[in-house]
């Protein structure tokens, strides 16, 4: 995909995430791998519903800024570690979906066994990564380890990280995790008020 298209896609999914409440304020970050092997990533400190494609910055895989006037997202280490762990991946998205984070805090695993496999966007499981400070090498390392065997994971007390072949696929997986988290929560709640079904 051309750089311009990748920038547009990153802005599109970032805006969707904000509009759907998967992030608030200046939260969240999205990146994509270019054909040159560099990484386009959203900048730090800007709401994603007013982000413009020209504000997306470019880094190399060692973390050096290649192009752009703004600071890259403070979670750039998380993105770079995901690309190193998954050579098949071309896009990474990190969001703060509320219900998913609540379940992680409560120690409840997001269930992937309640809906047809075809609807899971490739999410066979949603592992939870132990808390490490946002932006840290420790968080990036732990998340990358989880992403070796999953296309999505939750970061305890923090958010989600998902990967894909393009920004839309990575974003779809983040939306799906939040939907599965909502389903998991609702089945827990309704199991107390319903007649008691299977599962
Ligand atoms: Zn975050």
Ligand 1 centroid from CA 32, angstroms: 17
Ligand 1 centroid from CA 192, angstroms: 33
Instruction: Report the pLDDT averaged over residues 93-98.
Output: 98
In the chain the domains, ranked by start, together with CATH numbers, are 3-190 (3.40.225.10)
Given pLDDT bands bounded at 50, 70 and 90, which one contains residue 75?
very high
Ligand 1 centroid from CA 199, angstroms: 33
The burial class, CB within 10 Å (0-12 / 13-18 / 19+), for 108 is middle
The tens digit of pLDDT for each residue in 29-40 reads 999 999 999 999
Residue 198 and residue 40 in contact, taking contact as beta carbons nearer than 8 Å = no
Chain-wide mean pLDDT for the chain?
Answer: 96
Ligand 1 centroid from CA 197, angstroms: 37
User: Helices in 57-166 by DSSP H: which ranges?
Assistant: 76-85, 98-106, 137-147
Residues of the chain above pLDDT 70, percent: 98
Q: Is the pLDDT of residue 198 over 70?
A: no
The tens digit of pLDDT for each residue in 130-155 reads 999 999 999 999 999 999 999 999 99
Ligand 1 centroid from CA 133, angstroms: 10
Instruction: Report the pLDDT averaged over residues 72-85.
Output: 98
Ligand 1 centroid from CA 163, angstroms: 15
**pLDDT score recorded for residue 191:** 85
Determine if the pTM surpasses 0.85.
yes
User: Checking DSSP bridges between strand 152-155 and strand 39-41, what pairing results, if any?
Assistant: unpaired
Ligand 1 centroid from CA 188, angstroms: 27
Q: Is the pLDDT of residue 199 over 80?
A: no
Give the relative orientation of helices 3-19 and 167-190 as an angle to the nearest 10 degrees: 20
Lowest mean pLDDT: which of 81-85, 131-135, 152-156, 189-193? 189-193
């Amino acid at each position: 995909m051309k750089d311009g298209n990748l920038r547009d896609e990153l802005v599109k999914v970032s805006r969707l995430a904000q509009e759907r409440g998967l992030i608030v304020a200046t939260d969240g970050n999205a990146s994509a791998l270019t054909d040159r092997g560099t990484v386009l990533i959203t900048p730090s400190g800007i709401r994603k519903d007013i982000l413009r494609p020209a504000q997306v910055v470019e880094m190399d895989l060692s973390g050096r800024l290649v192009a752009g006037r703004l600071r890259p997202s403070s979670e750039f280490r998380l993105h770079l570690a995901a690309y190193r762990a998954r050579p098949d991946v071309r896009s990474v998205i990190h969001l703060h979906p509320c219900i998913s984070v609540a379940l992680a805090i409560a120690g409840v695993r997001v269930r992937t066994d309640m809906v047809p496999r075809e609807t899971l966007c490739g999410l066979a499981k949603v592992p939870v990564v132990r808390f490490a400070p946002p932006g840290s090498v420790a968080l990036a390392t732990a998340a990358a380890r989880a992403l070796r065997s999953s296309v999505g994971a939750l970061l305890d007390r923090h958010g989600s990280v998902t990967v894909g072949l393009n920004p839309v696929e990575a974003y779809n997986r983040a939306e799906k995790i939040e939907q599965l988290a909502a389903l998991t929560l609702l089945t827990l709640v309704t199991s107390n008020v319903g007649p008691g079904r299977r599962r």
